[in-house]
Amino acid sequence: MARTNSKIPANDMIHSMPLLKIGQERTQAAAALQKELLEAYDHAGRAWLARVGSEVALWTELLTKLTATRSPSDTVQAYTKCVSQQMKMTAEGGQHLFNDCQEITQKLTKAMAHGWPSGGA
């Protein structure tokens, strides 16, 4: 018995098999979500790295000022200014962290609302 070798083009096979198309759409959605999340994490990481640099600069500046102080009141003033700036930076950092978490949560919530991913296949 002779066999015919008829190949179905890949695109036709995907369109003729709805489950494969659904799987492909879910894979694309998962990849898009992963890309969005990685971009958000990258953005947050860069912001925190800049924050660490600002923190180092702040404490380095305090050290420089302390070496130049001539009186206890100059020392207290330098510390007060530094601690005040530190508190401001901490508040801004907390707000930034909140915003980063909110952005990531919104991306995940949006993905879940659109039905991806579900527990089954």
What pLDDT digit, counting tens, does each position of 67-93 carry?
Answer: 999 999 999 999 999 999 999 999 999
Round to whole Å and give the CA distance between 103 and 40. Answer: 8
Q: What pLDDT score does 112 carry?
A: 81
Contact of 108 with 32, CB cutoff 8 Å: no
**Below-50 pLDDT ranges, the chain:** 118-121
Omega of the bond prior to 18 within 30 degrees of 0, cis? no
Residues 40 and 103: beta-carbon distance below 8 Å: yes
The residues, ordered by sequence, that sit 6+ positions from 35 with a Cβ below 8 Å of its Cβ are none
Confidence (pLDDT) at 53: 95
pLDDT at 70 (0 to 100): 92
Predicted confidence at residue 121, as pLDDT, reads 42
- CA angle, residues 41, 42, 48, in degrees to nearest 5: 85
